[in-house]
Amino acid sequence: MIIHVTRVQVVGPYSLELDFDNGARKRVNLRRELYGPIFEPLRDPAYFALAYLDPDSRTVTWPNRADIAPDYLYEMETEQEPTELAKTLPQ
Domains of the chain with CATH codes? 5-81 (3.30.2020.10)
Is 81's pLDDT higher than 90?
no
Is 83's pLDDT higher than 80?
no
Q: Is 58 left (phi over 0), alpha (psi -120 to 50) or beta?
A: left
Is 86's pLDDT higher than 50?
no
Could you read off the pLDDT of 7-51 as tens digits, one per residue?
A: 999 999 999 999 999 999 999 999 999 999 999 999 999 999 999
Q: What is the pTM of this model?
A: 0.84
3-state helix, strand, coil in the chain (%, to 5): 25, 25, 45
